[in-house]
């Protein structure tokens, strides 16, 4: 059952979608995050959401303020604001009567995967993480900032000093070291934004399991079902209802 809802974060209502399974009793859950200028309805989130729901997981999807294709801002949103929104989404999900609060997983694509990593480093109760083609370290995007503008995906956003500082100061490598729970990375074999060798080097030495999906681009066009299956298989192994 798919329901439109919202949760509150930094004094605002954040649009969300919840998929509830028909299973009785407490169920595990996953919170899915889109990439920069993505949206909660995109196939890379909706296809996994429906598959997870069929398998007995509750699923929450939401739009990052200002970084969603549904309603993009003219200014670059602060990273800390999106981390706060995700932490509030987690709190909202854990309070749902049908959800087992000890088995809530984070899943994110590209920029959304990076936000998931920062949130997981702060919230020790997270059961695990699944990253779809995670973005590069924030510092690797300095070339996109010119004349107080962020230029990305054919759009231009004004950048405040605080927003730029947060992009440059958030250390994803340090965050990764703080995450002790199971992590799955689904990499795209033809990723034009984060080539596989770059991604593999970034996560070397971590506890993350990396699965390469050959032929897939950064957005997994035509491959969303395969992504969903890989993510579900991993989740059922570590976080499913039958997991002791």
Assess if residue 244 is contained within a domain: no
- The total number of structural domains that make up the chain: 1
The CATH number of the domain holding residue 219 is: 3.40.50.1820
Assess if residue 24 is contained within a domain: yes
DSSP per-residue codes, 119-159: HHHH-TT--EEEEESPPPPGGGGGGGEETTEEEETTEEEE-
Residues in a beta bridge with 35? none
Assess if residue 107 is contained within a domain: yes
What is the pTM (predicted TM-score) of this model? Answer: 0.94
Alpha helices by DSSP H, 33-110: 43-54, 79-94
Assess if residue 243 is contained within a domain: no
Assess if residue 63 is contained within a domain: yes
Q: Which residue has the higher pLDDT, 67 or 115?
A: 115
DSSP per-residue codes, 190-238: T-SSS-HHHHHHHTTTSSEEEEEETT--TT-TT-HHHHHHHHHHHHHHH
Assess if residue 208 is contained within a domain: yes
| pLDDT, tens only, 90-99 | 999 999 999 9
Identify the three-state secondary structure at position 108: strand
Rounded to 5 degrees, φ, ψ at 61 are -125, 145
Q: Is the pLDDT of residue 244 over 80?
A: no
Q: Which residue has the higher pLDDT, 172 or 24?
A: 172
Do 43 and 222 touch, CB atoms closer than 8 A?
Answer: no
Which structural domain range is residue 156 located in?
2-238
Q: In angstroms, how far apart are the furthest CA atoms of the chain? A: 55
Assess if residue 180 is contained within a domain: yes
Question: Other CB atoms closer than 10 Å to residue 8's CB: what's the count?
Answer: 12
């Amino acid at each position: 059952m798919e329901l439109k809802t919202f949760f509150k974060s930094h004094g605002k209502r954040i649009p969300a979608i919840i998929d509830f399974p028909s299973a009785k009793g407490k169920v595990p859950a996953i919170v899915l995050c889109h990439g920069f200028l993505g949206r909660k309805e995109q196939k890379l989130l909706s296809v996994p959401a429906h598959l997870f729901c069929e398998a007995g997981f509750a699923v929450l999807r939401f739009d990052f303020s200002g970084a969603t294709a549904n309603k993009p801002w003219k200014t670059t949103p602060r990273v800390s604001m999106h981390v706060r929104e995700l932490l509030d989404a987690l709190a909202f999900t854990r309070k749902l009567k049908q959800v087992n609060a000890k088995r809530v997983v984070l899943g994110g694509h590209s920029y959304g995967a990076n936000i998931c990593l920062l949130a997981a480093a702060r919230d020790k109760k997270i059961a695990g993480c699944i990253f779809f083609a995670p973005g590069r370290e924030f510092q690797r995007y300095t070339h996109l900032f010119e004349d107080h503008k962020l230029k990305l995906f054919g759009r231009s956003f004004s950048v405040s000093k605080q927003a730029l500082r947060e992009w440059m100061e958030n250390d994803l490598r340090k965050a990764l070291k703080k995450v002790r729970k199971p992590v799955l990375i689904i990499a795209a074999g033809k990723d034009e934004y984060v080539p596989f060798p770059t991604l593999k080097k970034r996560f070397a030495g971590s506890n993350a399991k990396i699965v390469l999906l050959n032929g897939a681009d950064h957005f997994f066009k035509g491959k969303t079902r395969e992504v969903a299956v890989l993510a579900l298989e991993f989740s059922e192994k570590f976080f499913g209802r039958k997991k002791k």
